[in-house]
Amino acid sequence: MRLLHTSDWHLGRSFHRVSLLDAQRAFLDHLVATVEERAVDAVLVSGDVYDRAVPSLPAVEMFDRTLSRLADLGVPTVMISGNHDSARRLGVGAKLLGRAGVHLRTDPRECGTPVLLDPADGGGPVAVYGVPYLEPSLVRETLGAESGGHTAVLRAATDRIRADLATRAAGTRSVVLAHAFVTGAEVCDSERDITVGGVASVPASVFEGIDYVALGHLHNCQSLSERIRYSGTPIAYSFSEAGHPKSMWLVDLGPSGEPAAERLPCPVPRPLARLRGRLAELLEDPALEQHTDSWVEATLTDAARPHDPMARLTARFPHTVSLVFAPDREEGDDAHSYAVRLSGRTDRQIAEDFVGHVRPGQQAAPEERQMLGQALEAVRVAEAEPDTAAAPRAPQGGTDGRPPAQDGARAVAR
């Protein structure tokens, strides 16, 4: 039985405000072509199909087109919802789609109900179970978990799976799709935090007894063991993924359930480059010519912020999308406490030093020092004058407390 394991498509997501729709469309075309070329028996999509609960229309159109193409090939697809998806929206029409071979698993109550695949490899049937992302506070009672943490609810779900497997014919092979953070896996910056509801990570032991576990949620393609793997994202969604080769797992599940996996690379829309140094160095270094067509994150280490750095960088690196300032400071700059550094200094010196602190390498100019001095002197003078704010204000119209002339008639009438 040949399975194609993928996840975390995040359809509709952008990269630093740059649309990725064309790149995502190219990946989905690549996925369908791979299914045909490598004679895939079933496609597994382990959650985060969309990037948000209410996806954009172009994202929905890509999703619909891809499912139709897979259904036309007669290749079953099993798909779960992730923490970015709206489980209820993604699961609309699940029963009808199931008749076309597209099996959506978005309801935690269906964790123990498998999609049964009949392979032609001489082995037993393959039971594919889908465990959607489980928010502990929402599914604890539904699953009858002992507590409300991530481990407890996922263990309750896999207990249901093992109970169902025990009723199946001897030789039945098992596959589980899950969207979770398993202990020991490598994380990156572009994953949404799921710590709400308890400690985010769960031990790999919750999947005991399963032949192959197709995981989603973490964006780096990785193996926790021969039978537990993350496919990662097919496209990089942050610069923290610059060192992650994007790929899918082609898994051959042997007659006895033993998995053998091959990593298949995904198309790269544009490489990522993280550059660091002074602006002049980045603009002049010939070795950086290779990054002309890359998406660039530039970290500038100039002591003083250069003039118009983004425009100057994009002149050489047209796809610069992120700019970070991290000035180099001399060792020992922060060695003394704040109070010690201010000891014996005047208010004016402190104010001038502050200008140099927020503008590293560029101290206050003479005209700026003059303005600071004038402002401090004005404050000193104001503080030295008698406090007139509390003095009673003479009523308008006279000094004897009577109302103004125009109000005299009313005063007399009263």
Distance CA 24, CA 6 (A): 13
Low-confidence winner among 27-41, 97-111, 193-207, 397-411 (lowest mean pLDDT): 397-411
What pLDDT does residue 396 have?
46
Tokens of 366: 């003479």
Between β-strands 2-6 and 42-46, what pairing exists: parallel, antiparallel or unpaired?
parallel
Closest among 187, 81, 173, 82 to 119, alpha carbons compared:
173
pLDDT band at 109 (very low <50, low <70, confident <90, very high): very high
What pLDDT does residue 405 have?
42
Contact (Cβ atoms closer than 8 angstroms) between residue 91 and residue 133: no
Q: 395 to each of 76, 86, 399, how far by Cα in Å?
A: 88, 67, 7
**2-265 belongs to which homologous superfamily?**
Metallo-dependent phosphatases (3.60.21.10)
Q: Is the pLDDT of residue 294 over 90?
A: yes
What pLDDT does residue 117 have?
94
State which fold the 271-328 domain adopts. Answer: Double Stranded RNA Binding Domain (3.30.160)
| pLDDT average, residue stretch 248-269 | 96
Residue 8's Cβ-count burial label (10 Å; 0-12, 13-18, 19+) is: buried
Q: Is the pLDDT of residue 404 over 50?
A: no
Q: Which residue has the tokens 């007669």?
A: 74
Distance CA 4, CA 214 (A): 10
Distance CA 146, CA 246 (A): 38
| pLDDT average, residue stretch 208-215 | 97
Q: Where in the chain is the domain with CATH 3.60.21.10?
A: 2-265
Q: Is the pLDDT of residue 403 over 50?
A: no
Q: Is the pLDDT of residue 13 over 80?
A: yes
CA dihedral (41, 47, 50, 52) in degrees, to 10, reads: 170
Q: Is the pLDDT of residue 303 over 60?
A: yes
What pLDDT does residue 390 have?
45
Low-confidence winner among 28-37, 315-324, 358-367 (lowest mean pLDDT): 358-367
Q: Where in the chain is the domain with CATH 3.30.160?
A: 271-328
What pLDDT does residue 366 have?
85
> What is the rounded average pLDDT for all residues in the chain?
87
pLDDT in tens, 348-399: 888 887 887 777 667 888 888 888 888 887 887 676 555 544 444 444 444 4
Distance CA 241, CA 248 (A): 15
pLDDT in tens, 179-192: 999 987 777 766 55
What pLDDT does residue 348 have?
82
Q: Between these two residues, 409 and 362, which has the higher pLDDT value?
A: 362
Q: Is the pLDDT of residue 43 over 90?
A: yes
pLDDT in tens, 335-351: 445 556 666 677 888 88
pLDDT in tens, 126-185: 999 999 999 998 999 999 998 888 999 999 999 999 999 999 999 999 999 999 999 877
